[in-house]
Chains A and B, each alone.
Chain A
Amino acid sequence: MNEDHSDLQPWIEPELEARIVAVVLGEASAFEAAELERIAAERAEVALFRRRIEQAHGLVATASRPDQPARRLAPERRAKLLATLGGSSVGMPNVSALRRPRLPWLTGKLMLRVAAVLVVGAIVTTFFSSWWTYEDRRALVAVNANKKEPASWGFGPQMGSNGSFGGGTLAMDKRQPQSPVAPMTAAPSADASDRARDGVDLISAPTVTAKSGQLAMMQTATGLPSSMQVETDAAPAAAAMPPKSEFAGSAGAPAGAMASESAMADDPRIAELEALTESMTDRSTVGSGDALATRSDAEAIDKLGSPITAGASNAMAPADYNETRAHLVFELKRAWEIPATPAATQSEKGAALRMQPAEKAKDVSVAEIAAEAQPFSTFSLNVSDVSFLLAKDALTRGERPDPARVRPEEFYNAFDYGDPAPAPGEQIAGRIEQAAHPFRQQRNLVRIALKVAATGRAAGEPLRLTILLDTSGSMEREDRAASVRRALTALASLLGPNDRVTLIGFARQPRLLAEAVPGDQAGKLADIAAQTPADGGTNLDAALGLAAELAAKQRVEGAQNRIVLLTDGAANLGNANPEQLAARVEKLRQQGIAFDACGVGASGLNDDVLEALTRKGDGRYYFLEKPEDADVGFARRLAGAFRPAAENVKVQVRFNPQRVGKYRLLGFEKHRLETEDFRNDRVDAAELAANEAGVALYEVEPLPGGEGELGEVFVRFRDPASGAMVERSWTIPYDAQAPAFDRASPSLQLAGAAALLAEKLRGGPAADLVDLDTLVPIVTALRGHYPQQARVNDLVEMFRQMRR
């Protein structure tokens, strides 16, 4: 039942659905069945739908038959119960006799309390933790959502809404004053709220656990020399979760598993993770894998005969070109040496025959490289968007762009992904993210983004910082107060006279504590914060409103405009409506004001809300577990981005053969370098202009049974200010829970969609795998995330034109 997530299910024509149902119900001819079999083989969503219908069909058939053998209550219990049921219906003395003291949890009072607790707990939890997933999902599947069945089916009103189970019990008791449980309706409310808190604790505990893995990762990342950000959409702790069965905390067989299962049952992310896992499983049934790809690789070589025509900005020196080419030929040969499936071997011959020496070895793009044979992938980080613009023009004219001029790297480098700039003092920032490939099984898309800085803060942008400080009672805790104080002090130490800081405290009401304090006087902020008395309540919504107002007032073009929220968050966000908060944050982003959140203290932190808010706000989510975490490194991160520039930028990725089977760099065919050229500074490479980021996209086959990380990224460039060569490296982590493409971060989706469109335009084997229809809803949804980038609109338009 759980094999899919219909929210993500592409729409199927009703008529086709009806045909599928007819086949499943045995109403169709063999010819029709075969025809549908063919369609199902081509369209994953059809196969999925058929599987779901088959499952429902099987279950309904089983449910319509009597159980064999029939189950009976234990004889003694059965006899007593029958005696009770056979008697008059009201006020049976036997009733109490049957309620054994062994079962306190079934007695009315407890029952009622449990119900009340769960209702409250579930409402609170769903309120805070489900909305963002819903938000995300809604954005992705807006199209499908419209086509969904009306919800009137299936669950009655009672069960249809989250967290209302047990509500039935309540209702019954209220309506039945003569029932023995009725007096319990008036359960002491203090009692109930105690239990309610327990319920909340119970529910939120696993959330915190789940997050701590992620946070640990974030902290590791922060420890790196350069400000590296590892993005993982799926909570890593998912691996530790027991596989959940079909329904509510169902199979309780292993006691421990059952417990954690039901404790976690409230977390919508679990459902998401399941869906994710399942969609990944589903993918494995799509397409026929390597053999297919490799065979079509060979065909592509056949098709792509025309010489490389370099775009204006990408012309290479002939010597370099020859070198590169020699390397490509080498790589290509190595690629064919991979033990191939029969299909591939066969076509390999064909390919070899056609690989005349005179021919350009340009198809390295479609050949996967075995990490074992060639662990190093080296290229010049050449950033251009020419190919993208050309293709856009061609499509606008109603023509297909010349495949030879389609360069995937110039597609996915045509966008500003909002990747983080390096912290002051750092010269380069790296960001690595990954998600499952939408069309190729067992491949992840790995996006490596590098953004360089050249000079120090003097040349940097001024900072317009608005700090929203939670001054609710729980923030009074000594360690939290210390964390806040340290964070503010560290931040102040990094600010200059051109920077302005506004401090707002908020509890039930926001209070302006300091406005537009020049950066060199920001030291007093920590004192101001310390003197602000703590108060009850947490009205984040009002606080955000005030912050937005003040930030907008202070906003300066060309400055870093940011709002930073410092809160112990969570449970405490009170009556805030998460959707409303998200809308506010989104509006801020559109005004050019970024939103960061900093969680203080581990307990009760509403990770989901904060994280989702920062994602909406182009910001980052920080976390201060202990006062010591609030160091200068943290403050630097807050202090933001500066204009970078770098020369001779080369990237080398070393894949770990223990963890990576094959890999493929998308694009950069003309910019690839010999492994040993990476540190040969006489070999020229690209330049990155001020504030420019370079992105590389890989398809990687992670080996789940392997060991270690996926690999390491090295970047080497010359700092034009000092003339010195700078080299940095980052680890590409192995992510066993890489999100499905439609749940990946917007930046990865955008890069992936652009690259895949390029592959489609280029034609050949890689193109056959690309199903534009699947990508359209994702790309369309991206417009909302990048409202100021006309090119995202262009991309959507290009997808539309391609489908004609």
Chain B
Amino acid sequence: MPDSLSHAPGLPAAEIPVAGLSAAGGRPSLVAFFEAEESALLGFAIGLVGRRSVAEELVQEAFLRLHQLWDQVENPRAWVYRALRNLALNHLRDHSREVMVEAPEGPGNESAPDEALDRLEAVGMVRLLLAELAPDDQALIHLKYHDDLKYQQISQQTGLSVSNVGYKLHHLLKGLAEALRRAGIEGSRG
């Protein structure tokens, strides 16, 4: 798994401008990482499986697994999103038949409306995809969306030309849109 999941070679974690991994001078502790990602991952899991209790179990399992591999995983964020998604898909697959006949486990009001779930899932998927981007591209997205900068300002900060910023963001967004579409269709196959 480390092969495939942390495929961005030599990813310097400290440069990734996201919460939880932005601690200066190296990667954060697993606990800090957990606290930073907990909410987003839980939302993603709820979006995937639709039930909070199951989602919590999946998030827990994902972190337990990450815990085992913490020293080897190079890009824990991408890793844990992937792992969570795999767990959720496995769960859905494994439980598809049972769920058909059984009543939902938890209280009935536990299920969120479909749209909200779709949104959670989509946002989680975007986070997954973003985590897997090259660090430069992640930084660019961060400047644009987190810091809400214009092309011009991004250009000043990064030293890229304005048109290059536009070009990169164009292809990043297009690629994201395409990857999301695939995730919606082919991704459902596994």
Q: A157-165, A417-425, A594-602: which one contacts chain B?
A: A157-165
User: Chain B residues with Cβ under 8 A from A82's Cβ?
Assistant: 31, 34
A256 at the interface (CB under 8 A from B): yes
Contact string against A for B residues 131-170, beta-carbon threshold 8 Å, 1 for contact and 0 otherwise: 0100000000110111000110000000000000011011
- B1 & A154 in contact (Cβ 8 Å cutoff): no
Given the contacts A98-B60, A253-B113, A81 and B34 also touching, CB distance less than 8 Å: yes
Min distance, Cβ A445 to any Cβ of chain B, angstroms = 26
Given the contacts A2-B184, A168-B83, A259-B96, A248 and B89 also touching, CB distance less than 8 Å: yes
Min distance, Cβ A194 to any Cβ of chain B, angstroms = 15
Given the contacts A82-B31, A98-B64, A255-B103, A56 and B180 also touching, CB distance less than 8 Å: yes
User: Chain A residues with Cβ under 8 A from B111's Cβ?
Assistant: 252-253
A140-198 residues with Cβ-Cβ distance < 8 A to B are 149, 153-159, 162-169, 171-172, 175-176, 179-180
Min distance, Cβ B165 to any Cβ of chain A, angstroms = 9
Closest chain B residue to A168 by CB distance?
B1
B40 at the interface (CB under 8 A from A): yes
Measured in the bound complex, the distance between the Cα atoms of B172 and A56 in whole Å is 10
Contact string against B for A residues 251-273, beta-carbon threshold 8 Å, 1 for contact and 0 otherwise: 11101101111110110100100
User: Chain B residues with Cβ under 8 A from A26's Cβ?
Assistant: 150
Min distance, Cβ B88 to any Cβ of chain A, angstroms = 8
Min distance, Cβ B77 to any Cβ of chain A, angstroms = 12
User: Chain B residues with Cβ under 8 A from A308's Cβ?
Assistant: none
A238 at the interface (CB under 8 A from B): no
* Cβ-defined partner of B186 (8 Å) among A21, A22, A60, A271: A271
Closest chain A residue to B112 by CB distance?
A253
B26 at the interface (CB under 8 A from A): no
User: Chain A residues with Cβ under 8 A from B177's Cβ?
Assistant: 1, 52-53, 55-56
Closest chain B residue to A157 by CB distance?
B4
Measured in the bound complex, the distance between the Cα atoms of B112 and A262 in whole Å is 18
User: Chain B residues with Cβ under 8 A from A259's Cβ?
Assistant: 95-97, 99-100
Given the contacts A27-B150, A149-B174, A169-B86, A265 and B188 also touching, CB distance less than 8 Å: yes
B27 at the interface (CB under 8 A from A): no
- A162 & B186 in contact (Cβ 8 Å cutoff): yes
A115 at the interface (CB under 8 A from B): yes
B16 at the interface (CB under 8 A from A): no
- A1 & B122 in contact (Cβ 8 Å cutoff): yes
Measured in the bound complex, the distance between the Cα atoms of B178 and A155 in whole Å is 10
Min distance, Cβ A47 to any Cβ of chain B, angstroms = 14
Closest chain A residue to B61 by CB distance?
A106
- B142 & A64 in contact (Cβ 8 Å cutoff): yes
Q: A87-95, A337-345, A484-492, A754-762: which one contacts chain B?
A: A87-95
- B86 & A166 in contact (Cβ 8 Å cutoff): yes
* Cβ-defined partner of A251 (8 Å) among B47, B123, B150, B183: B47
Given the contacts A2-B181, A89-B71, A247 and B122 also touching, CB distance less than 8 Å: yes
Measured in the bound complex, the distance between the Cα atoms of B116 and A251 in whole Å is 9
Given the contacts A163-B190, A172-B2, A251-B118, A60 and B176 also touching, CB distance less than 8 Å: yes
Measured in the bound complex, the distance between the Cα atoms of B83 and A165 in whole Å is 9
- B99 & A114 in contact (Cβ 8 Å cutoff): no
- A247 & B126 in contact (Cβ 8 Å cutoff): no
A84 at the interface (CB under 8 A from B): yes
- A275 & B178 in contact (Cβ 8 Å cutoff): no
Min distance, Cβ A36 to any Cβ of chain B, angstroms = 14
* Cβ-defined partner of A25 (8 Å) among B19, B64, B127, B144: B144
Min distance, Cβ B142 to any Cβ of chain A, angstroms = 7
Measured in the bound complex, the distance between the Cα atoms of B122 and A61 in whole Å is 12
Q: Which of B88, B90, B177 has the most CB of A within 10 A?
A: B177
A22-55 residues with Cβ-Cβ distance < 8 A to B are 22, 24-27, 52-53, 55
Min distance, Cβ B126 to any Cβ of chain A, angstroms = 4
Given the contacts A1-B122, A21-B166, A149-B175, A73 and B56 also touching, CB distance less than 8 Å: yes
A249 at the interface (CB under 8 A from B): yes
B130 at the interface (CB under 8 A from A): yes
Q: Which of A55, A61, A251 has the most CB of B within 10 A?
A: A251
B14 at the interface (CB under 8 A from A): no
- B185 & A2 in contact (Cβ 8 Å cutoff): yes
- B82 & A158 in contact (Cβ 8 Å cutoff): yes
Measured in the bound complex, the distance between the Cα atoms of B111 and A775 in whole Å is 45
A3-31 residues with Cβ-Cβ distance < 8 A to B are 4-6, 17-18, 21-22, 24-27
- A1 & B34 in contact (Cβ 8 Å cutoff): no
- A73 & B50 in contact (Cβ 8 Å cutoff): no
Given the contacts A22-B166, A168-B82, A252-B49, A63 and B127 also touching, CB distance less than 8 Å: yes
Measured in the bound complex, the distance between the Cα atoms of B78 and A356 in whole Å is 74
A300 at the interface (CB under 8 A from B): no
What interface size band does chain B fall in? 35 or more
- A66 & B188 in contact (Cβ 8 Å cutoff): no
A449 at the interface (CB under 8 A from B): no
B11 at the interface (CB under 8 A from A): no
Closest chain A residue to B35 by CB distance?
A82
Closest chain B residue to A163 by CB distance?
B190
- A72 & B4 in contact (Cβ 8 Å cutoff): no
User: Chain B residues with Cβ under 8 A from A274's Cβ?
Assistant: 185
- A245 & B99 in contact (Cβ 8 Å cutoff): no
A542-562 residues with Cβ-Cβ distance < 8 A to B are none
* Cβ-defined partner of A85 (8 Å) among B34, B58, B91: B34
B114-131 residues with Cβ-Cβ distance < 8 A to A are 114, 117-119, 121-127, 129-130
* Cβ-defined partner of B59 (8 Å) among A73, A92, A95, A268: A73
Min distance, Cβ B27 to any Cβ of chain A, angstroms = 13
Min distance, Cβ A157 to any Cβ of chain B, angstroms = 5
B55-104 residues with Cβ-Cβ distance < 8 A to A are 56-61, 63-65, 67-71, 78, 82-83, 85-97, 99-100, 102-104
Min distance, Cβ A178 to any Cβ of chain B, angstroms = 8
User: Chain B residues with Cβ under 8 A from A263's Cβ?
Assistant: 96-97
- B1 & A118 in contact (Cβ 8 Å cutoff): no
Measured in the bound complex, the distance between the Cα atoms of B82 and A172 in whole Å is 12
B42 at the interface (CB under 8 A from A): yes
Measured in the bound complex, the distance between the Cα atoms of B187 and A390 in whole Å is 51
Measured in the bound complex, the distance between the Cα atoms of B157 and A67 in whole Å is 27
- A67 & B40 in contact (Cβ 8 Å cutoff): yes
User: Chain A residues with Cβ under 8 A from B64's Cβ?
Assistant: 81, 84, 95, 98-99
User: Chain B residues with Cβ under 8 A from A581's Cβ?
Assistant: none
- B123 & A62 in contact (Cβ 8 Å cutoff): yes
* Cβ-defined partner of B117 (8 Å) among A72, A250, A255: A250
User: Chain A residues with Cβ under 8 A from B57's Cβ?
Assistant: 103, 106
Closest chain B residue to A22 by CB distance?
B166
- A155 & B180 in contact (Cβ 8 Å cutoff): no
Closest chain A residue to B17 by CB distance?
A64
B15 at the interface (CB under 8 A from A): no
A74 at the interface (CB under 8 A from B): yes
Given the contacts A60-B141, A165-B190, A262 and B166 also touching, CB distance less than 8 Å: no
Measured in the bound complex, the distance between the Cα atoms of B103 and A127 in whole Å is 34
Q: Which of A64, A114, A126, A263 has the most CB of B within 10 A?
A: A64
A105 at the interface (CB under 8 A from B): yes
- B182 & A154 in contact (Cβ 8 Å cutoff): yes
Q: Which of A55, A73, A252 has the most CB of B within 10 A?
A: A252
- Cβ contacts A to B, 9 pairs, < 8 Å: A18-B167, A73-B38, A103-B61, A115-B90, A122-B189, A149-B171, A248-B89, A250-B188, A252-B111
Assuming A21-B166, A252-B49, A255-B104, what are 18 further A-B pairs, CB within 8 angstroms? A1-B180, A2-B184, A25-B144, A59-B123, A64-B146, A70-B38, A154-B182, A156-B132, A159-B82, A164-B190, A165-B85, A166-B190, A168-B1, A180-B68, A246-B180, A250-B50, A266-B189, A274-B185
Residues of B within 8 A of A (CB): 1-5, 7, 19, 29-31, 34, 38-40, 42-43, 46-51, 56-61, 63-65, 67-71, 78, 82-83, 85-97, 99-100, 102-104, 111-114, 117-119, 121-127, 129-130, 132, 141-142, 144-146, 150-151, 166-167, 169-171, 173-190
By Cβ-Cβ distance, the 4 closest A-B pairs, closest first, are A154-B179, A252-B50, A172-B1, A158-B4
